[in-house]
Structure 1
Amino acid sequence: MKRKLTTKFIEGQKPDPSKRLDFRDELMAGLVLRISTSGTKTFCLHKRINGKMRRLTIGRFPVLSLAETRERVRQVLYEIETGRFEDRTGIEVETKPTLGDVIPDYIEKHAKVHNRDWKRKEALLAKFTILHGKQIDEIKRADVVQACDVIGKSAPVSANRALAHLKHLMSWCVESGIMDASPISGMKPRAKEQPRERVLTDDELGALWAVCGDEGYPFGDCMKLLILSGQRRAEVAEMRWSELDLEKRLWTLPSQRAKNGKQHTVPITDAMLEVLRKTPRFFNSDYVFTTTGKSPASGFGRVKERLDKALPDGTEPWIIHDLRRTMSTNMAMLGVPQPVTEALLNHKTGVVSGVAAIYNVYSYADEKREALGKWNQHLGSMLAKREEASCQGTTTMTQPRKREHAS
């Protein structure tokens, strides 16, 4: 904020508990009054020295008056221009942290507090290796473009995700007073992405269900619930027994675990209940799918590799998230209205928005149960036909490869 600084103005300024305030003086170029969240008022000089922007702490108000500050700034500017500034003492030169210094601070103070997937965010920010040694306020847009292009050579989509996280980090730095402006504000993704359209066929779903049965607990059973419920992988993998009401046939996903931060209820069908009732329970553990009892099941990348090896040759590439699209597509074919499908998937698509969305927490309860029942019935019929055809030896579907178990 730029304005003419006066003693009366400085004395009358109150701190903002949420952020640090900077007021740039219109009379003395580079002079800034900084007011901390606690109310400390400090005079600083922003000046480029030897090609690098520096913030020099001149002194605190009212120990140093505005007139004394302006006179001191004139002396500093003269010595900078004449090349004698480096010989001065008593002026504190504030050196900005590097990106490598800021990332851990950002992860600890912001990402861990607000993001369930903070580890993914941390991993993507780590890809900006060539920028980690640069001071945060010296990173230019061209530097980020170059870094994104390096990342994009092997992983274009990851480059886009990493850029999105870096933009948020720099916005956080601006809000925290670490830097004055983000050099990449408004910067568009470097790589063009094609929206995924992959939908698994009934044959592929049948084969996947079979290999999930071979996989067993916890990962195979978790994958079966993903197919049956259409919910997100992390939400199912981190499911708690305390979230389930098996008598009322209801799974209540709390807002802190839902991706969109909204409490979500999922009806439990007969097929889902069958999977859950066969699931072993760890003593003193609330996790439904776990290998240790202390943390939810993880390592789905390796699980996916095992499933792919067990699936029939020629199966088109797929990802776990495609299971949600597969359910959504089949529901449309089964005549389920889109708003009901979106409610079941816990999507925020604009179908229900504004005030209606706020009061829509329990809406579509009966419709969601009916819709999920239709989808599970369709799966059951398809699996039954597959089993019958297999028993009669007339199936035309390619059977899954038999998994090899190490002795």
Structure 2
Amino acid sequence: MMAAITIQALPHKITKSYVDRLSTPEAGQAFVRDSELKGFAVRVTSTGAKSFILEKRIDGKVKRLTLGRYPELTVEQARKEAHKLLGHIAVGRNPPAEKKQEALKGTTLQEAFEDFIKVRKNLKPRTLYDYQRVMQVVFADWQNKAMLEIGKDMIAKRHSKTGAERGEAYANLSMRFLRALFNFAIAQYEDDSGHAILRENPVMRLTQTRAWYRVDRRQTVIKPHQLAPWYQAILSLKQDQLSKQSALVADYLLFLLFTGLRRQEAATLKWSDIDLNDRSFTLTDTKNREPLTLPLTDFISDLLRSRKAATDSEYVFAGDGKAGYLIEPRRQVQKVTELSGVSFTLHDLRRTFITVAESIDISAYALKRLVNHKMTNDVTAGYIVSDVERLRKPMEEISAQLLRHFEINEEKKVLKFPVHQNP
């Protein structure tokens, strides 16, 4: 049995037998440099792993290039690779930079998305959720594909396919996301000269060929005559004993309708944001990034007091997922639609709130403040301060009008519906 060789500082000709006999350092790593080829060496770690390296000054700095691990790479193969790289360096090439550039060229869609969400730290939870869903649903088979391999024709075909299978609006949404991801990659990944690895955004094909679907903005609301049966369905949902979430979702839908909030603003509302004594609540994370305090009507105050007594969550509308709050109550919304015959989306409730407010001539300034719309082009609005108490009266008027549409007896708070006789 051949004795182990203690690693020394002096260079030695690197051969297979010599590498096999090298001892393992007690800690860290040690190097044995070749006596024949300058810069060629063997690195040995405390775990016993051995690999070949090449050390060479490139662009004024000493670089250490890993050639490969032993014994997967033989001494002869490593020496040959070292000669090859030295030749490249001699003619002015930069192998480390070229290797980095090749790695960047191979950046996959999934890797770019991971970098994207690391940089975009302020993405709202709902936005991040939507992006993740698009990656899983529309681009599942592209996640391990290099971005350089995703061409214009592929974009056009996937846009068309998604439109046919999932709807034109969703197809546009998915491609807007992909366009943003490519724009990020163009700015993020550069070679050593500062030039973008990706030179163009292939999603621009849709703009150049005018292939985007024309999707009209939704203008749907729950009409006045539909509000009574809709409310009856809400009460049925609230009394559903088969699901503990049913009553919570019923309250959530009513809260959306009576406040005009966006669904995410309401879903992420915490009890710490609500002051039941002052009958007000504060939105700290709004779409326009400006916090807003609004009044609570009598109807919503009663609803929240009942809700608070039935939960121990920090969120007003708690969810079963790890986010902690209600995400997407599709099943319950579908049940209300089936019971009432009124098809609606969560955003329809916001539009209904605005429509009812306009029908009773609520001040435009008050309404814009209630729904947190900016008034950047209105000089007069800049001089109007709409505090909570000034907004309380218009909020109560909107609430009263909704209750009238519900056909509620104000004294007994009982829903008045005709009794259906059995045939």
| TM-score, with length taken from structure 1 | 0.66
Q: Which residue of 2 aligns with 1:273?
A: 301
- Whole-angstrom CA distance in 2 between matches of 1:278 and 1:177: 53
Equivalence for 2:268: 238
What whole-Å deviation, never above 9, does each CA across 1:173-232 have from its counterpart, x for those lacking one?
A: 223226444414755472110111212122211222222122222111111111111111
How much has 1:334 moved relative to structure 2? 0.8
Q: 1:272: how far off?
A: 0.8
Alignment of 1:125 onto 2:135: yes
Q: Distance in 2 between matches of 1:310 and 1:347?
A: 33
Aligned residue in 2 for 1:218: 248
Specify whether residues 104 and 278 from structure 1 end up closer, same or farther in structure 2 by C-alpha distance, changes over 3 A only: same
Cα offsets for 1:319-347 (capped at 9, x unmatched) = 12111111111211211132322221112
C-alpha separation in 1, matches of 2:398 and 2:370:
12
Please state if 1:301 is matched with 2:330.
yes
Instruction: Pick one of 204, 226, 237 that aligns with 1:204.
Output: 226
Structure 2 CA distance for partners of 1:61 and 1:220, relative to 1, 3 Å: same
The match for 1:173 is: 185
* CA displacement 1:159-180 (0-9 Å, x = unmatched): 1111111111122222322644
1:340: which partner in 2? 366
Q: Deviations over 1:13-63 (max 9, x none)?
A: xxxxxxxxxxxxxxxxxxxxxxxxxxxxxxxxxxxxxxxxxxxxx985323
On the 8 A contact 1:140/1:183 being kept in 2, the answer is no
Q: Give, in angstroms, the shift of residue 392 of structure 1.
A: 8.3
Deviations 1:88-128 (A, max 9, x none): 99963623212133223434x14564222211111113312
**d(CA) in 2 for partners of 1:60 and 1:282?**
69
Going from structure 1 to structure 2, the CA distance change for 1:111 and 1:344 (only over 3 Å counts) comes to same
Q: Secondary structure at the match of 1:265?
A: strand
Q: Tell me, which stretches of 5 or more residues in structure 2 are unaligned?
A: 1-55, 63-86, 191-196, 239-246
**Secondary structure of 2:315 counterpart:** coil
Residues 112-151 of structure 1 correspond to what in structure 2 (within 5 A)?
113-117=122-126, 118-126=128-136, 127-151=138-162
How far off its partner does 1:239 sit?
Answer: 1.7
> Which one has the largest radius of gyration?
2
Task: Decide whether the 8 Å contact of 1:160 with 1:190 is kept in 2.
Answer: yes
Task: Tell me the SS of whatever aligns to 2:125.
Answer: coil
CA displacement 1:374-405 (0-9 Å, x = unmatched) = 11011122334689997584x9xxx8xxxxxx
Deviation string 1:306-330 (CA, Å, 9 cap, x unpaired) is: 1112114xx3x32121111111112
| Mapping 1:4-43, distance limit 5 Å | none
Contact (CA 8 Å) 1:250, 1:266: kept in 2 or not?
yes
Q: Identity rate of aligned residues, in percent?
A: 21
The letter for the 2-side match of 1:174 is: I
Cα distance in 1 for residues equivalent to 2:132 and 2:276: 37
2:277 and 2:216 map into 1 onto residues whose CA distance is 43
Is the 1:238–1:289 Cα contact (8 Å) retained in structure 2? yes
Give SS of 1:363's match: coil
The one-letter amino acid of 2:269's match is M
C-alpha distance in structure 2 between counterparts of 1:345 and 1:390, whole Å: 28
Structure 1 residues 125 and 150: alpha-carbon distance in aligned structure 2, compared to 1, 3 A threshold? same
For 1:110 and 1:274, how far apart are their aligned partners in 2?
A: 43
Look up the SS of the partner of 2:282 in the other structure: strand
Residues 61 and 284 of structure 1: CA distance in aligned 2, closer, same or farther (over 3 Å): farther
Match of 1:101 in 2: 111
> Distance between the aligned counterparts of 1:103 and 1:373, measured in 2?
46
Structure 2 distance, partners of 1:372, 1:130, is 49
Q: Which residue of 1 aligns with 2:25?
A: none
Q: Residue 23 of structure 2 aligns with which residue? A: none
- Give the match for residue 201 of structure 2: 183
Please provide the CA RMSD for this pair: 3.7
Give the aligned partner of residue 370 of structure 1.
393
Q: Would you say the 8 A contact 2:408–2:416 is kept in 1?
A: no
Q: 1:350 offset after TM fit, Å?
A: 4.3
Residue ranges of structure 1 left out of the alignment (5+ in a row) = 1-57, 65-70, 78-87, 400-407
* Matched positions, count: 315
Task: Assess if the C-alpha contact under 8 Å between 2:406 and 2:415 holds in 1.
Answer: no
Q: 1:248 to 1:308 in 2, by over 3 A?
A: same
Residue of structure 1 in register with 2:164 after alignment: 153
